[in-house]
Amino acid sequence: MHRLLRTFTALAAFAALGLPAGCSSDSASGAKEEEATVREAATGSAGPPEGAFWVDPDSPAARQVEQWQQQGRTRDAEALRRISEQPMAVWPAGDDPAPDIAQATRGAAKENRTAVLVAYNIPHRDCGQHSAGGAGSADQYRSWVDTFAGAIGDAPALVVLEPDAIPHIVDGCTPAEYHEDRYQLLSEAIQRLKRQPEVKVYLDAGNPGWISEPGKLTEPLRKAGVAQADGFSLNVSNFQSDGTIKAYGRTLSAAVGGKHFVMDTSRNGRGPLAGDRQDAWCNPPGRGLGTPPTDRTGDPLVDAVLWIKRPGDSDGPCRGGPAAGQWWPDYALGLARNAKAA
């Protein structure tokens, strides 16, 4: 998944918003609270997952914990529990999303929890880069979304809709001839998903290091139907700090009618990789787990803190990683060991 990380541009933009460069919250006390929260994740003292979200007992991280225990790698297995025991999003794969969704919603129902799902199959996905693919046509996408929504049924679910799709319009990566079709498809997808009685939908809006001026997203989000969604998502698969995301989200919310948002904190415990690097989004070294997932955010605009990108899933074949979305245990272990504030 393509994640441009233009650090210096982003810092300049946040200076215009009145945020000091590198600030991780809106105040000194907020920074301390955020650091303490992330430190809990690092030390394992955070306790069981908070709130409503389902933990997959058969995730790649859970299977890796079991394997390492059998091999006598006890310390590594215990470190990896910081991932395996937290709720993470499910990204249904292939042309038929129903099996993955059914498994997640059934598992969640048994525990009276909510499944977090990602719809990621828009035509011309990721501009042909590491996560290229998606439906072959608009009609195929409509059918896929209908299957996706139908598989949820009456179960409670939180759906993050099409990471990158809007930001790739804004940054020019997606060719102009596809823009109007994409807006239409996203708007229809929101409407279809909202027909399910217990579904909340959050349309993806990228991250502050990618589209540094939130105002550039306003009209594209409106065209894509954000007014009918429950809100928007930020920082999916990226590394921006909690405070930076929240400040950006508040600004964007004010521009799109006060919509709420959710934020991905799965790998942002040490913030983004320093420097203005084109590939800083792709398996950057030295990153760590961020704030554990919860729907108890204490912020009226933030509906949930989530681990949308599954920690340990590769961003792509860069820095020695496997293909995008493939499990990479060594990287996962690094995230677990580095789960602390920068």
- Residue-level pLDDT at 3: 41
- Residue-level pLDDT at 23: 30
Bigger pLDDT: 85 or 9?
85
Q: How confident is the model at residue 229 (pLDDT cuts 50, 70, 90)?
A: very high
Give every CB contact of residue 249 below 8 A, 6+ residues apart in sequence: 232, 234, 261, 263, 301, 302
Q: Is 126 a catalytic residue?
A: yes
Q: How confident is the model at residue 113 (pLDDT cuts 50, 70, 90)?
A: very high
Give every CB contact of residue 152 below 8 A, 6+ residues apart in sequence: 101, 105, 115, 117, 159, 193, 196, 198, 199
Bigger pLDDT: 3 or 199?
199
Bigger pLDDT: 9 or 281?
281
The per-residue pLDDT of the chain, averaged, comes to: 87
pLDDT in tens, 34-82: 444 444 444 343 444 555 999 999 999 999 999 999 999 999 999 999 9
Nearest-angstrom CA–CA distance, 146 and 158 = 16
- Residue-level pLDDT at 48: 46
- Residue-level pLDDT at 297: 95
Q: Identity (one letter) of the amino acid at 340?
A: K
Rounded to two decimals, the pTM is: 0.86
Nearest-angstrom CA–CA distance, 146 and 189 = 8
Strand pairing class (302-306; 231-234)? unpaired
Inform me whether the pLDDT recorded for 24 exceeds 70.
no
Nearest-angstrom CA–CA distance, 74 and 304 = 32
Q: How confident is the model at residue 279 (pLDDT cuts 50, 70, 90)?
A: confident
Q: Is 26 a catalytic residue?
A: no
- Full strand arrangement of the beta sheet holding 199-204: 115-119, 157-161, 199-204, 231-234, 260-264, 302-306
Q: Is 58 a catalytic residue?
A: no
pLDDT in tens, 115-157: 999 999 999 987 867 666 789 999 999 999 999 999 999 999 9
Residue pair 212/6 in contact by the 8 Å Cβ criterion: yes
Q: Identity (one letter) of the amino acid at 274?
A: A
Percent of the chain whose predicted confidence (pLDDT) is above 70: 82
Q: How confident is the model at residue 185 (pLDDT cuts 50, 70, 90)?
A: very high
Q: Exposed/middle/buried for 172, CB within 10 Å: 0-12, 13-18, 19+?
A: exposed
Which residue in the list 76, 164, 242, 264 is annotated as catalytic? 164
Which residue in the list 56, 126, 204, 303 is annotated as catalytic? 126
